[in-house]
Amino acid sequence: MDMWIYRERAVQTLREQVRRDQLGSFVRLKGGFPFPLAGAVYWLALGIAGYSMTLESWNLAAFVFSGAIFPLAILFSKLFRSDFMRDSTATGDVLGPAFTSMLLFYAIAFPAYAYAPELVPLIVAVGMSQHWPVIGWSYGKPALYSAHAVIRAIGAAALWMTLPDGRTTLLPFWVAAVYLGTVVAILIVWRRERAAAPA
């Protein structure tokens, strides 16, 4: 019984330490808001491009330029003094598996490009958000970041089904709007956490 109590206390202590580390990272890195800001730029550009591109060209652009999100996030992180590349946390190792699981959506997106191209905007919109709940956990804010993924997926699916002519315009603008709303929400929570953080 004593060993069980000791183990439970040790687990509780570890949870508290991890939680402090997560929230510390959230405060230091301003909730990682440069990433959703970069995502908003990417999706706004896709929405604008959707008015002049064919579906096939849009799909290809969505694949090719998705690689620009990370460098753009690095640029924004330097501009806003939130250099995530130099930060270290106890839970940072979770990011590799999180991004790996997210990137698996390409196994669906690439065949869709060849055989069901109209599905690509929806697959990209939902697939590129699969890591958000884990990223939220790494910051100690899983509900906030999971809300982004859920709201984004529900809205994207609804737009894809009800407004097929807007699949390369309205749908990307929806995702961009969710990104921008998430940036605002992150900064609001960040200010609150920064004010509550011990000096």
Question: Which among 185, 81, 60, 179 has a CA at the least distance from the CA of 124?
Answer: 60
199 pLDDT more than 60: no
SS (H, E, C) the chain: CHHHHHHHHHHHHHHHHHHHHHHHHHHHCHHHCHHHHHHHHHHHHHHHHCCCCCHHHHHHHHHHHHHHHHHHHHHHHHHCCCCHHHCCCCCHHHHHHHHHHHHCCHHHHHHHHHHCHHHHHHHHHHHCCCCHHHHHHHCCCHHHHHHHHHHHHHHHHHHHHHCHHHCCCHHHHHHHHHHHHHHHHHHHHHHHHHHHCCC
Question: Which among 104, 82, 86 has a CA at the least distance from the CA of 35?
Answer: 82
| Res. 88 pLDDT band, cuts 50 70 90 | confident
1 pLDDT more than 60: no
Q: Assess contact for 148 and 129: CB atoms under 8 A.
A: yes
* Domains of the chain by residue range: 2-194
Question: Which among 192, 171, 137 has a CA at the least distance from the CA of 47?
Answer: 171
Q: What is the mean pLDDT of the segment spanning 86-108? A: 85
Q: What is the pLDDT of residues 27-40, one digit of tens each?
A: 998 999 999 999 99
Q: Say what percent of the chain tops pLDDT 70.
A: 95
What's residue 7's pLDDT? 72
What's residue 15's pLDDT? 81
Work out the widest C-alpha separation in the chain, in whole angstroms: 70
What's residue 156's pLDDT? 98
Q: Say what percent of the chain tops pLDDT 90.
A: 71
Q: What amino acid is encoded at 117 in this protein?
A: P
Q: What is the mean pLDDT of the segment spanning 153-170? A: 98
| Res. 13 pLDDT band, cuts 50 70 90 | confident
Q: What is the pLDDT of residues 162-193, one digit of tens each?
A: 999 999 999 999 999 999 999 999 999 999 99
pTM for the whole structure: 0.91
